[in-house]
Structure 1
Amino acid sequence: MNTIYQRIFEYTPDALLVVDPTGRITLANAQAETLFGYDRSELIGQPVEILVPPRFVTHHARHRAGFNAEAHSRPMGAAVELSALRKDGFEFPVDIMLSPMFMKGHPLTLCVVRDISERKAAADKLRQQAEELQKLHVALKEQASRDSLTGLLNRRGFHELASQMLRTAHRRQESTALLMIDLDHFKQVNDRRGHLEGDHVLKMVAETLKATARENDIVARHGGEEFIMAILGDDEAESLVAAERVRTAIAAIPNTQSRITASIGVATFKPELQKREVSQILEEMFGQADRALYAAKKNGRNQVCHFSALKTKAP
């Protein structure tokens, strides 16, 4: 080897190995000794697989044979993660460049091996930080959509999911029911029993609604003592049965200082041939359920009223 090339080979900052077609190491530089923990006399004549973790040896040997069959330059920066093995058994990540060469007419392969432990650690740290930020983003979004007292969806979260439900209903040509649930005489609970009892009642109602709801039903606290539930697939008769089940469950809540009842207004959206804006449909259903709720309150409370039962009145 020419003296100037010998010096370049010896003192380049990367580990350099020259491997013959049988996979034996014929040359190694000083950085290869430092990187792998071997004296070069221990490397020369050895199969290059002594520098490969045992679980990758068979694959590496096949890959080497394929490379020799169709030799070509392989630059660093491959997508696949590579690992090397030190003499003491320590594994570390590496990037490798392969380049076919000839020396005195004999085909050889120049292997440039670079330790990328620091680079990989930095990349792993960045990936971990990105994952943590993503989790934080999801948690903050979830928190922004939840009522802090009951853990139910808040109004914002409900509108987002109910809009998705209405799109699904339109696609499947299924009905959707909206239940507006208002606790009767709740102000008296706060006035006579205190806000701690009032909060306790709201939490118990929330738990009852979650227990009563089906898996795909959407339940939320709409504000104050008012709750809402959206049900996919229920027509008018089925929505009345569901509302009555909710009303009965609330009336049966134990461990409160006074009996709790609720009035429920129900509206049902039937599939339409002509598609309308989801926001328009949802606003219409809220208006209908609210009117039905008002009627239930006016008729004595602790009852269910469907919008269809109301007589049409001029505004």
Structure 2
Amino acid sequence: MGNLYRQVVESVSEGILFADNDEIIRLWNKGAETIFGYTADEAIGSSLALIVPDRFLARHQRGYERVIDTGKTAYKSKMLCVPACHKDGRRISIEFSVNIILQESKVLGISAIIRDVTEKWHKEQEELKSAD
């Protein structure tokens, strides 16, 4: 079954990642490689700060710590849309949902399913400008 799970995770276009309690990336699929530009070898072992814009980093870290401490997130069933950083320096827009990963009631970290919505965001901004 392990090989089947690996194939499913690697074949989807969405980014899938897992970060441990210290915000260290432990899983990074091909979808995440495409979205963010970092290979799995580059991302795994790095902090999530790799993809979080500097101006949002403190807020992100507070939120992450709260989720790890409480074992609860408001974004399990909701998609969160935020800016992120691509390896080439571009700002991208992503939407994602998170799941808390537990083992014997202990939080191991957080997984995220991610989509690049940059084009959609730009289109919405253009429509807003046109409406003015």
Which structure features the higher share of helix residues?
1
Q: CA deviation at 1:76?
A: 4.1
2:110 counterpart residue number: 109
Higher relative contact order (CA 8 A, sep 6+): 2
Question: Which AA in structure 2 matches 1:2?
Answer: G
**Which digits, 9 at most, give the CA deviation of each residue in 1:78-118, with x for residues without a partner?**
4xx51110112111111121111236876221111211112
Question: Which AA in structure 1 matches 2:88?
Answer: D
Question: Which AA in structure 1 matches 2:79?
Answer: G
Name segments (4+ residues, structure 1) moved above 4 Å.
103-106
1:221 counterpart residue number: none
Question: In structure 1, how many angstroms separate the alpha carbons of the residues matched to 2:42 and 2:55?
Answer: 22
Q: Answer yes or no: is the 8 Å Cα contact 1:76–1:95 preserved in 2.
A: no
Gapped runs of 5+ residues in structure 2? none
What is the CA RMSD across the aligned residues, in angstroms?
A: 2.0
Which structure features the higher share of strand residues?
2
Question: In structure 2, how many angstroms separate the alpha carbons of the residues matched to 1:100 and 1:55?
Answer: 25
Q: Answer yes or no: is the 8 Å Cα contact 1:72–1:99 preserved in 2.
A: no
2:13 counterpart residue number: 13
Corresponding residue SS for 2:9? helix
> What's the TM-score, normalizing by structure 1?
0.38
Question: In structure 1, how many angstroms separate the alpha carbons of the residues matched to 2:79 and 2:124?
Answer: 14
Identity %, equivalent residues: 24
Corresponding residue SS for 1:69? helix
Question: Which AA in structure 2 matches 1:64?
Answer: Y
Question: In structure 2, how many angstroms separate the alpha carbons of the residues matched to 1:83 and 1:4?
Answer: 32
Q: Answer yes or no: is the 8 Å Cα contact 1:36–1:87 preserved in 2.
A: yes
2:125 counterpart residue number: 124
1:160 counterpart residue number: none
Corresponding residue SS for 2:13? coil
Question: In structure 1, how many angstroms separate the alpha carbons of the residues matched to 2:89 and 2:20?
Answer: 24
**Which digits, 9 at most, give the CA deviation of each residue in 1:179-234, with x for residues without a partner?**
xxxxxxxxxxxxxxxxxxxxxxxxxxxxxxxxxxxxxxxxxxxxxxxxxxxxxxxx
Q: Answer yes or no: is the 8 Å Cα contact 1:93–1:116 preserved in 2.
A: yes
Question: In structure 1, how many angstroms separate the alpha carbons of the residues matched to 2:86 and 2:39?
Answer: 12
Question: In structure 2, how many angstroms separate the alpha carbons of the residues matched to 1:98 and 1:48?
Answer: 14
Q: Answer yes or no: is the 8 Å Cα contact 1:15–1:114 preserved in 2.
A: yes
User: Aligned pairs, how many?
Assistant: 129
Structure number with larger C-alpha Rg: 1
Corresponding residue SS for 1:27? strand
Gapped runs of 5+ residues in structure 1? 132-315
